[in-house]
Amino acid sequence: MVKAANSRGDAPGTPPRTRILVIGGGYVGMYTALGLQRKLRSGEAEVTVVTPEPYMTYQPFLPEAAAGAISPRHVVIPLRRVLHRCRIVIGQAQRIDHAKRTATVTTLATPDEGTGDMEIEYDELVLAPGSVSRTLPVPGLADYGIGFKTVEEAIGLRNHVIEQMDIASSTRDPAIRDAALTFVFVGGGFAGVEALGELEDMARYAARYYHNIKAEDMKWVLVEASDRILPEVGPEMGTYTVRELRRRNIDVRLETRLESCENRVAVLSDGARFPTRTVVWTAGVKPHPLLAATDLPRNERGRLRCTSFLTVEGVEHAWAAGDAAAVPDITAETPGSTCAPNAQHAVRQAKQLADNLVAALRDQALTEYAHKYAGSVASLGLHKGVAHVYGRKIKGYPAWFMHRTYHLSRVPTFNRKMRVLAEWTLAGLFTREIVSLGSLEHPRAEFELAAGGGHAHHPPRPAPNPPEDGKG
Distance between CA atoms of 141 and 161, rounded to whole angstroms?
Answer: 18
148-158 pLDDT tens trace: 999 999 999 99
Query: Which candidate, 327, 358, 331, places its Cα nearest to that of 341?
Result: 327
Q: For strand 278-281 and strand 145-146, is the pairing parallel, antiparallel, or unpaired? A: parallel
What is the structure's pLDDT at 113?
A: 85
Strand partners, 274: 266
Cβ–Cβ < 8 Å for 377, 392:
no
Assess whether pLDDT exceeds 80 at residue 472.
Answer: no
Assess whether pLDDT exceeds 60 at residue 343.
Answer: yes
Reported as a pLDDT band with limits 50, 70 and 90, residue 112 is confident
Q: What is the mean pLDDT of the chain?
A: 89
Cβ–Cβ < 8 Å for 268, 472:
yes
- Check the CA dihedral 30-31-36-38 and report its sign: positive
Cβ–Cβ < 8 Å for 281, 291:
no
DSSP string, 181-205: TEEEEE--SHHHHHHHHHHHHHHHH
Cβ–Cβ < 8 Å for 125, 21:
yes
Cβ–Cβ < 8 Å for 338, 301:
no
Cβ–Cβ < 8 Å for 154, 62:
yes
285-304 pLDDT tens trace: 888 999 999 999 999 999 99
What is the structure's pLDDT at 3?
A: 56
What is the structure's pLDDT at 170?
A: 96
Q: Lowest mean pLDDT: which of 103-117, 159-173, 283-297, 436-450?
A: 436-450
Alpha carbon distances (Å) from 328 to 259, 294, 305, 319, 334: 35, 21, 9, 14, 11
455 by DSSP, 3-state: which?
Answer: coil
Assess whether pLDDT exceeds 80 at residue 196.
Answer: yes
Distance between CA atoms of 173 and 182, rounded to whole angstroms?
Answer: 15
Cβ–Cβ < 8 Å for 6, 107:
no
What is the structure's pLDDT at 461?
A: 45
Assess whether pLDDT exceeds 50 at residue 462.
Answer: no
Q: Which secondary structure element, helix H or strand E, spans residue 343, and what is its range? A: helix 343-361
Question: What is the arithmetic mean of pLDDT over 259-268?
Answer: 96
Q: Lowest mean pLDDT: which of 168-172, 288-292, 382-386?
A: 382-386
Assess whether pLDDT exceeds 90 at residue 265.
Answer: yes
Strands (E), 147-260: 182-186, 219-223, 250-253, 258-260
Cβ-based neighbour number of residue 167 at 10 Å: 17
What is the structure's pLDDT at 158?
A: 92
227-258 pLDDT tens trace: 999 988 888 999 999 999 999 999 999 999 99
Q: For strand 87-97 and strand 45-51, is the pairing parallel, antiparallel, or unpaired? A: parallel
User: 260 CB contacts (<8 Å, ≥6 apart)?
Assistant: 138, 139, 140, 266, 267
Assess whether pLDDT exceeds 80 at residue 471.
Answer: no
The terminus-to-terminus CA distance of the chain in angstroms comes to 57
Reported as a pLDDT band with limits 50, 70 and 90, residue 371 is confident
26-70 pLDDT tens trace: 999 999 999 999 999 998 999 999 999 999 999 999 999 998 888
Question: What is the arithmetic mean of pLDDT over 171-198?
Answer: 95
Question: What is the arithmetic mean of pLDDT over 13-17?
Answer: 68
Reported as a pLDDT band with limits 50, 70 and 90, residue 470 is very low
Assess whether pLDDT exceeds 60 at residue 364.
Answer: yes
**Chain-centroid distance, C-alpha 372:** 23
Alpha carbon distances (Å) from 186 to 130, 229, 307: 21, 11, 34
Cβ-based neighbour number of residue 192 at 10 Å: 24
